[in-house]
């Protein structure tokens, strides 16, 4: 689809910009113990699920807020859970959102478009005001959704409007990964730039792929830092604690300002983490 080709070109351009920027700002990232850590962690198993669109009753997907407030005005990240065979009627949203498939298969496109089933690890965007449908299939279907401001509302197509923004759908197989030979700050991981400008104080979304058996840390200086496990399972150690938290897909960790996130991964599979930040970060083993 032309949406994929356009995004691939954008990713290539942003990668070129991001490489130089991250390499030149490594000295800003903390390498020592943080005196007053702001690290927080939330487990997918402890999230509170409710109807995404109560007006649809039992036909509504389920939603669970991870951070922010989906019903309020701030930026928010939340999970959506679909039943097998779910297909929404054509509708619009009042705000633009981004999505990452965590489990199952998701289709999101124009109501008349052929189905393009995106597997776990795929990424899409849905502009505000544009008519579309969302469908899912699989025994378990979960997606991470993110908005820059709220509230997140579902509205009829009669209220559609055009902002000039266009949707993109990127299958997992079309995501471009960089390793430490191309991006020194990747450390023992691989990195893929999804959206935004790779500059300080500019919000952007990035994927980090940790190899099986990874043991290390993510160091960051962003005043905003949210990380959501998309694939695999990582163990997260809070500062000044010996206990490790097992973070399954949909789990989240965050911080404000200079921070160190201590992480290890199982030796049986690779792990993918989505990061939203306005600062630089470095992966180190």
DSSP states along 90-117: SBEESS-EEEEEEEEEEEEE-TTSPP--
Q: How far is CA 51 from CA 47, 81, 137, 265, in A?
A: 13, 10, 19, 33
| Bridge partners, 277 (sequence order) | 204, 225
Q: How far is CA 41 from CA 136, 177, 229, 253, in A?
A: 28, 26, 11, 4
Q: How far apart are CA 272 and CA 265, in angstroms?
A: 10
Give which of 217, 221, 210 is closest to 266, Cα–Cα: 210
Are residues 111 and 155 both part of a single domain? Answer: yes
Q: Lowest-pLDDT range, 17-21, 167-171, 186-190, 263-267?
A: 17-21
The percent helix, strand, coil of the chain (3-state, each to 5) is 15, 40, 45
- Calculate the average pLDDT of the chain: 89
Q: Please check the confidence at residue 51 and state whether its pLDDT lies above 60.
A: yes
Q: Lowest-pLDDT range, 9-13, 87-91, 137-141, 170-174?
A: 9-13
pLDDT for 10: 44
Domain assignment of residue 8, yes or no: no
Are residues 39 and 70 both part of a single domain? Answer: no
Q: How far apart are CA 195 and CA 18, in angstroms?
A: 11
Task: Tell me if 198 sits within 8 A of 22, measured CB to CB.
Answer: yes
Are residues 159 and 224 both part of a single domain? Answer: no
* Residues in CB range of 182: below 8 A, 6 or more apart: 19
Percent of the chain with pLDDT over 70: 89
Q: How far apart are CA 261 and CA 217, in angstroms?
A: 5
Are residues 54 and 157 both part of a single domain? Answer: yes
Count the domains in the chain: 2
Q: Which tokens in the block code for residue 41?
A: 């962690």
Are residues 107 and 226 both part of a single domain? Answer: no
Classify strands 92-93 and 252-255 as parallel, antiparallel or unpaired: unpaired
Q: Please check the confidence at residue 71 and state whether its pLDDT lies above 60.
A: yes
3-state SS assignment for residue 151: coil
Res. 84 pLDDT band, cuts 50 70 90: very high
Helices (H), 119-201: none
Are residues 119 and 104 both part of a single domain? Answer: yes
Q: Which tokens in the block code for residue 249?
A: 């897909």
- For 97, phi then psi, to 5°, come to -135, 160
Q: 155: domain CATH number?
A: 2.60.120.10
Are residues 235 and 221 both part of a single domain? Answer: yes
Mean pLDDT of 255-282: 93
Task: Tell me if 160 sits within 8 A of 129, measured CB to CB.
Answer: yes
Domain assignment of residue 243, yes or no: yes
Are residues 167 and 179 both part of a single domain? Answer: no
Decide which of 173, 200, 230 is a domain's last residue.
Answer: 173
Are residues 76 and 188 both part of a single domain? Answer: no
Are residues 187 and 279 both part of a single domain? Answer: yes
- For 117, phi then psi, to 5°, come to -80, 120
- For 278, phi then psi, to 5°, come to -115, 15
Domain assignment of residue 1, yes or no: no
pLDDT in tens, 2-15: 444 444 444 444 44
Q: Lowest-pLDDT range, 19-23, 56-60, 240-244, 256-260?
A: 19-23
Domain assignment of residue 14, yes or no: no
Which structural domain range is residue 276 located in?
20-43+175-284
What is the residue whose two structure tokens read 């000295």? 27
């Amino acid at each position: 689809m032309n949406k994929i080709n356009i995004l691939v070109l954008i990713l290539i351009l942003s990668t070129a910009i991001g490489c130089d920027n991250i390499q030149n700002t490594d000295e800003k990232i903390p390498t020592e113990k943080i005196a007053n850590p702001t690290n927080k962690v939330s487990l997918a198993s402890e999230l509170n699920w409710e109807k995404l669109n109560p007006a649809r009753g039992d036909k509504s997907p389920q939603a669970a807020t991870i951070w922010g407030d989906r019903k309020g005005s701030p930026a928010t990240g939340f999970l959506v859970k679909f039943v097998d065979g779910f297909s929404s009627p054509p509708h619009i949203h009042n705000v633009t959102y981004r999505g990452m498939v965590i489990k199952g298969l998701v289709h999101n496109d124009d109501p008349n478009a052929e189905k393009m089933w995106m597997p776990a690890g795929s990424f899409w965007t849905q502009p505000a005001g544009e008519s579309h449908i969302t469908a899912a299939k699989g025994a378990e279907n979960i997606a991470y959704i993110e908005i820059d401001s709220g509230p997140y509302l579902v509205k009829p197509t009669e209220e559609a409007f055009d902002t000039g923004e266009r949707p993109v759908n990127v299958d997992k197989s079309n995501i471009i990964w960089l390793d430490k030979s191309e991006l020194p700050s990747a450390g023992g991981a691989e990195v893929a730039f999804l959206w935004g400008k790779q500059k300080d104080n500019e919000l952007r979304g990035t994927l980090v792929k940790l190899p099986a058996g990874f043991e290390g840390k993510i160091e960051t200086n962003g005043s905003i830092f949210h990380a959501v496990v998309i694939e695999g399972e990582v163990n997260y150690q809070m500062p000044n604690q010996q206990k490790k938290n097992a973070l399954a897909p949909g789990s989240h960790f965050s911080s404000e300002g200079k921070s160190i996130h201590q992480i290890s991964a199982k030796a049986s599979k690779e792990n993918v983490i989505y990061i939203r930040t306005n600062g630089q970060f470095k992966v180190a083993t």
